[in-house]
Structure 1
Amino acid sequence: MEAMMTGMINNIFFIIFPIILYQMFATAGQRNFFVSHRITMTILFSISIILCMLFPYQFLTEDYIFDLRQVPMIVGALYGGPIVSAVLFIVSAVGRIAIGGDGMYIAILNQFLLAAGVPFLAPLYRKVNRWWKAGLVFIISIVSLLFNLFAGYFFFGDPVHDLIGIWLMLMLNQGGIIILTALLIEHLQKQEYLYTSLMRHEKMETVSHFAAAVSHELRNPLQSIKGFVQLMQEYEYPRSKQLEFQQTILNEINAAENLIDDYLVYAKPAYDELKPIEVEPELLHVIKIMSPYAKARDVEFFVRTDHLPSKILGDSQKLHQALVNIIRNGIEAMPTGGKLDIELENSSQSVCVLITDEGTGMTKEEVKRLGEPYFSNKSKGTGLGLMVTYSIIHQMGGDISVDSEVGMGTKFTLEFPKLPE
């Protein structure tokens, strides 16, 4: 009994392991077994058939050995179709010929009938729900074993009534395992379908947000431009007034261009060639630029650096843009003034920029949504600044994390891989 259970467990492992192995290593969103990776799954199921045949097990009596090769054959034929079924038949037939022994021709004939007949049931199999699928594979398995039972009676004179108990147990054994296999595949297929649907939904939602944000933000400058053009068409203004209107129109066009540039940077960041840059001088340059803006809002900078080499691979212009966005957000988060800490830390593996404000802070949910399009804590914000910032940091191989508490302020940590000296 112990040897039988060990052999049965081995056969079950040979059947299930290729399915799990494929699920683990196949690319998410493309795990559709015999549809997306027909050759891979055919090879895995062929290996499963061979291993089942090489490691059979005795069943209830020492005179009868059994294996579960029919399980991957039936499942492969239903999911893979005629070509896969033909390949699996050839593999099993060659293996059975190599093993030899009594019943070889009956086994090969049985495998041929499975390979030829089961693919015709595949269209029906795909249409029914998973419980009907479980019932269908069970019936196919029972019919296959009944063929072996009666073929043994006709060709070898095996007494059916003496073996009916053994064959009944075999039917239940193989039938139960093939049901579990089919249900496992259906479960994995359902999970993959849900994952693909979710990814598709998220992409459509992102496109929808982008369209809404672009439409909303471009409408303001376009309406201004339209209004000034209509005024110039309807009235005769002095030359100086016309020039003033034209300058306003140009300013609105520039604002629209900047908005579009921000979206393009997020969607497909355009960099000059990434090259080694020192973070400390770039950071100090940005602080110098932002100092007048901070002073006008009663915000004081406290800067700490260790003056150690801080070389990373990046784009200085885009790094400036990212740092300006974060520092500006920190300043604007303190409407009554305050202190903004900016610290540069070096380690053997990374360069970190820490920017901490004393502002209003954010909830955990708001922190999670930072960097999303169409999300901002500002009454007139679009979320584009941090969206672009996140994109820049990630495209330079860095990471950005945020710690915040309502009423206590916010800390941004930018971490970049450090280049070796």
Structure 2
Amino acid sequence: MMTGMINNIFFIIFPILMYQMFATAGKRNFFKSHRAILTALFSLSIILCMVFPYQVLGEEYIFDLRQVPLIVGALYGGPAVSAILFLVAAIGRIAIGGDGMYMGVLTIFAVAVSVPLLRPLYMRINRLWKVVLVFGIAIVSLVFNMLLGNWLFGNPIGNIFSLWAILMLSQGAVTAIAALLIEHIQRQEYLLNSLMKHEKLETVSHFAASVSHELRNPIQSIQGFVQLMKDHEYSRDKQIEFYDTMLHEITAADQLIEDYLVFAKPVSGKLELLQVKMEIQQVLKVLTPYANWEKVTINLIDGGCQAKIMGDRQKFHQMLINIIRNGIDAMPDGGILTIRIKEKAPSVLILIKDEGCGMTKEELQRLGEPYFSTKSKGTGLGMMVSYSIAHQLSGEINVQSEKGRGTVFTLEFPTAQ
């Protein structure tokens, strides 16, 4: 009996756990999303419970936990699911046959009809009362079955009352456990959805604060020059100077917006075959004067690598410039910045190592967040855009750093076939 009961419990719990494992996180809502799949899984539970019962008394009684999926499905799925599960259970019980067939069909019919009527109440009460309710339904269904057997077959209830009591308690307990498991999954799903919504709102808040802060500076500068030109007369040379300054501020604001667009949208440029070594050399032509000014020596070690990737040249350059420039800025007293190219099929690795101040574990975790920077005048947009570009190019950026001992950026991209 115990082995059969354990099997029945497994048949009931397994589909619930399988659904939790394979259903998309954030969309696991029993019988609201994936209704057809869950109805099929619960139907399978009913069939398996009937095929492998845990107690048989003659031809009148076949004991199993088929009613548990029926009760749970009716409470969470409503009348339509209850009707389908009833048909599955009824057909299965008729196929098994025996003198107790009519009694079994009548019992599951009564459960399938009455339990959905309790669904509105069930959905309103808290978890404790839900457990009490499903426990009570499971026991009442077996009491109905016992009285029906006494009426149809004249079986004396007293002779097997102790067995009936054990069956009632076991069915009630298993039904309560199944309901508790579903409630726990739905509670976790609710918390996950709340967390995801909170993170989205927090991201929007970060973006709003960052955009307003960064755009306010050039706008206020332009506003100030316009006010000066309105209130005072200046020479033509002075006006041209003001115009140049305002154009510079407008360009800075436009670049800020462009950075945010790069982060928000997919790569819109033309994808072409890029030879990694040549692209890095072009970037270094641009950055070498700045590195020399900061007393930083850049060493490129390519090892004869001729690997190629598919990507947007402009965006790829922008990502490299952001990371290499950060490495240069991390060495205010000068130093050596090493760039190493490695081909590790089916990927190509670009390692950018500096001898700068390094970062703590907390700073590493926040790297790439909007409006976070280790530089006093940084906005964090450079690294945020770099991570976005790497993702758009199907690549990854991994960072290793230790305070006072420098930082190593490892960029990995799939090689072009």
Aligned runs of 1:40-189 on 2, under 5 Å?
40-58=37-55, 64-189=61-186
1:306–1:346 contact (8 Å) kept in structure 2: no
Q: Which letter maps to 1:243? A: I
Aligned equivalent of 2:25: 28
Q: Which letter maps to 2:28? A: R
Q: Which letter maps to 2:304? A: H
2:60–2:99 contact (8 Å) kept in structure 1: no
2:338–2:352 contact (8 Å) kept in structure 1: yes
The answer to whether 1:191 aligns with 2:218 is no
2:59–2:99 contact (8 Å) kept in structure 1: no
Deviation at 1:187, TM superposition (A): 0.9
Q: Distance in 2 between matches of 1:379 and 1:214?
A: 18
1:271–1:318 contact (8 Å) kept in structure 2: no
2:315–2:389 contact (8 Å) kept in structure 1: yes
2:8–2:52 contact (8 Å) kept in structure 1: yes
Distance 1:60 1:168, change over 3 A: farther
Q: Which letter maps to 2:36? A: I
**Structure 2 counterpart of 1:229, from 226, 242, 260:** 226
Aligned runs of 1:1-400 on 2, under 5 Å?
4-58=1-55, 64-400=61-397
1:52–1:69 contact (8 Å) kept in structure 2: yes
1:355–1:412 contact (8 Å) kept in structure 2: yes
Deviates more, 1:117-126 or 1:20-29: 117-126
1:344–1:354 contact (8 Å) kept in structure 2: yes
Q: Distance in 1 between matches of 2:14 and 2:179?
A: 14
**Structure 2 segments unaligned to the other structure (5+ residues):** none
SS at the partner of 1:371?
Answer: coil
Deviation at 1:308, TM superposition (A): 2.5
Deviation at 1:61, TM superposition (A): 8.9
Q: Distance in 2 between matches of 1:407 and 1:217?
A: 30
1:60–1:166 contact (8 Å) kept in structure 2: no
Q: Which letter maps to 2:291? A: A
Q: Distance in 2 between matches of 1:294 and 1:175?
A: 75
Deviation at 1:236, TM superposition (A): 2.2
SS at the partner of 1:345?
Answer: strand
Q: Distance in 1 between matches of 2:209 and 2:254?
A: 17
Q: Which letter maps to 1:82? A: P
SS at the partner of 2:416?
Answer: coil
SS at the partner of 1:381?
Answer: coil
Q: Distance in 2 between matches of 1:33 and 1:189?
A: 8
**Structure 1 segments unaligned to the other structure (5+ residues):** none
SS at the partner of 1:273?
Answer: coil
SS at the partner of 1:217?
Answer: helix
TM-score (norm 1): 0.96
Deviation at 1:334, TM superposition (A): 0.5
Q: Which letter maps to 2:207? A: F
Q: Distance in 2 between matches of 1:62 and 1:290?
A: 89
Aligned equivalent of 1:407: 404
Deviation at 1:60, TM superposition (A): 8.7
Deviates more, 1:18-27 or 1:92-101: 92-101
Deviation at 1:271, TM superposition (A): 2.8
2:59–2:98 contact (8 Å) kept in structure 1: no
Q: Distance in 1 between matches of 2:246 and 2:364?
A: 37
Q: Distance in 1 between matches of 2:390 and 2:196?
A: 24
Distance 1:64 1:51, change over 3 A: same
Q: Distance in 1 between matches of 2:312 and 2:32?
A: 43
TM-score (norm 2): 0.97
Deviations 1:107-129 (A, max 9, x none): 21211121111112112111222
Aligned residue pairs, count: 417
Q: Which letter maps to 1:312? A: I
Deviation at 1:63, TM superposition (A): 7.8
Deviations 1:65-118 (A, max 9, x none): 311110000000111111111111111111112222112222212111211111
Deviations 1:269-321 (A, max 9, x none): 33323232111100111111100000000001111111222111211111100
% same residue: 63
Q: Distance in 2 between matches of 1:177 and 1:110?
A: 18
Q: Distance in 2 between matches of 1:91 and 1:59?
A: 21
Q: Distance in 1 between matches of 2:272 and 2:47?
A: 54
SS at the partner of 2:377?
Answer: coil
2:352–2:409 contact (8 Å) kept in structure 1: yes
Superposition RMSD on alpha carbons, in Å?
1.4
Deviation at 1:33, TM superposition (A): 1.6
Deviates more, 1:144-153 or 1:103-112: 103-112
1:138–1:175 contact (8 Å) kept in structure 2: yes
1:353–1:414 contact (8 Å) kept in structure 2: yes
Q: Distance in 2 between matches of 1:353 and 1:200?
A: 36
Deviation at 1:62, TM superposition (A): 10
